[in-house]
Amino acid sequence: MIQANWLEFCRVFDKSKSFVLATIVDTKGSTYQKTGAMMLVDKEGTCFGLLSGGCLEADISLHAKTVLDNNENKLLTYDLKADADLLWGLGLGCEGALDILLTPLTPENNHQDFGELLNSVGLHNSGIYYLPRTVSETKKSPTAHFSQAQFESLSGLKQCLTESFISEEDAFVAIPVLPPLSILICGAGPDAEPLVKMCVQQGWKVVLWDHRKGYLQQSGFESAHEKRKIRAEKVTSDDYSNIDATVIMTHNLESDEQYLQASIAANVNYIGLLGPIARRKKLLENLNVDENEIAGQVYGPVGLDLGGRGPAAIALSIAAEIQQHFSDKFKLNEIKPIKL
């Protein structure tokens, strides 16, 4: 699966400016990132995203300047094995090698369809980005392109990749593009602050609901992407458009019940309930919902048992469970770019 901070890319991308897209197109052995990982570099050499642990980015940035100056692709190869470490003077010991393709994204080349990709991601859509994995001697800047494609499962994604048509004269990497997870947090209490921050750090889109305007305006929630003043009894399943996960933490039994009912009706993929098992059982009984019907969807007590206490530790356990849930549900470790 492609590793990219789409929200950061959407924030910095400007269709009037030029960038360089750095993409890992091949790896061997142990590497920090795998094929399909992306990083943006602007004209000043600032990097957005990571392709290594921070050891290669400065060198990539230098090469990016020549890519923009010459307006042509460039393929970089880094061998990070022990002997090469001595040569590079990096001392990484990663025991791997990777090829990174630098592609100029300029207004003149329509940013290689990267703007279309970001627009699609911003609308919570998925797709496939076809990126040339070699630098052709006869065509120095082969054209990348993006195709929107909806896939709700691993099998659906594989079918999309299999049915993709690519001309035989060019070798491409077909990179699956999934939008960032959209996390809805119901309840803007003090214990929600570290959860909002942690989810944002994961590169997820965070939506925060509460009926108290003053709570929503607290400084600890400035990083939330969307905030909405709404009462739980006014919420319907239609309000959950493009929501992947809901964490219900209002500390009010009636409000939690109303949010839970709407989340189940909207078939939200992950629903987390703050509080003990007895509280979850009471909520489900009030809604006349069978535990077996929502197994693998409703989690209560929310979060993995990591052994910590306090708001920060609880936030960590919730974020970890959300990550685990979607990794297992979509088998993210099996979603890999394919060479065509």
Mean pLDDT over each residue of the chain, to the nearest integer: 85
pLDDT above 90: residue 274: yes
* Residue 334 domain-assigned (yes or no): no
pLDDT above 90: residue 329: no
Q: Within this chain, do residues 40 and 104 fall inside the same structural domain, yes or no?
A: yes
The last residue of one of the domains, among 164, 179, 194, is: 179
pLDDT above 60: residue 162: no
From start to end of 71-196, where are the E strands? 74-79, 96-105, 127-132, 145-148, 172-177, 182-186
Domain count, the chain: 2
Q: Within this chain, do residues 123 and 246 fall inside the same structural domain, yes or no?
A: no
Q: Within this chain, do residues 10 and 108 fall inside the same structural domain, yes or no?
A: yes
pLDDT above 80: residue 130: yes
pLDDT above 70: residue 159: no
pLDDT above 50: residue 138: no
How much is the pTM?
A: 0.84
Query: Per-residue pLDDT tens for 91-104?
Result: 555 677 888 999 99
pLDDT of residue 79: 84
- CB of 43 closer than 8 Å to CB of 17: yes
Query: Which range marks the domain in which residue 43 is found?
Result: 6-179
218-225 average pLDDT score: 94
* Residue 336 domain-assigned (yes or no): no
Q: Within this chain, do residues 32 and 136 fall inside the same structural domain, yes or no?
A: yes
120-133 average pLDDT score: 86
Sheet architecture: strand order including 270-273 = 226-229, 205-210, 182-186, 245-248, 270-273, 298-299
pLDDT above 50: residue 84: no
* Residue 208 domain-assigned (yes or no): yes
Query: Per-residue pLDDT tens for 184-219?
Result: 999 999 999 999 999 999 999 999 999 999 999 999
CATH code (residue 205): 3.40.50.720
List, in sequence order, every residue forming a beta bridge with 299; answer none if it has no partner. Answer: 272
Cα 207 from Cα 182, distance rounded (Å): 7
Those residues with Cβ within 8 angstroms of residue 21's Cβ, 6 or more apart along the chain or in another chain? 38, 39, 40, 41, 102, 103, 105, 112, 114
> Kind and range of the H or E element at 262?
helix 253-265
pLDDT of residue 133: 66
The last residue of one of the domains, among 130, 147, 179, is: 179
Q: Within this chain, do residues 10 and 139 fall inside the same structural domain, yes or no?
A: yes
Query: What is the share, in percent, of the chain residues with pLDDT greater than 70?
Result: 82
pLDDT above 50: residue 47: yes
Query: Per-residue pLDDT tens for 278-295?
Result: 999 999 999 999 999 999
Q: Within this chain, do residues 135 and 11 fall inside the same structural domain, yes or no?
A: yes
Phi and psi at 222, nearest 5°, equal -65, -25
* Residue 339 domain-assigned (yes or no): no
Cα 80 from Cα 117, distance rounded (Å): 31
Q: Within this chain, do residues 210 and 64 fall inside the same structural domain, yes or no?
A: no
pLDDT of residue 94: 61
Q: If DSSP states are collapsed to H, E and C, what string results for 274-292?
A: CCCHHHHHHHHHHCCCCHH
Which of 69-83, 150-164, 302-316 is the least confident region?
Answer: 150-164
* Residue 63 domain-assigned (yes or no): yes
Q: Within this chain, do residues 80 and 117 fall inside the same structural domain, yes or no?
A: yes
Q: Within this chain, do residues 113 and 54 fall inside the same structural domain, yes or no?
A: yes
* Residue 147 domain-assigned (yes or no): yes
pLDDT above 80: residue 132: no
How, if at all, do strands 145-148 and 127-132 pair?
antiparallel
Residue 73 or residue 320, greater confidence: 320
The last residue of one of the domains, among 140, 157, 179, is: 179
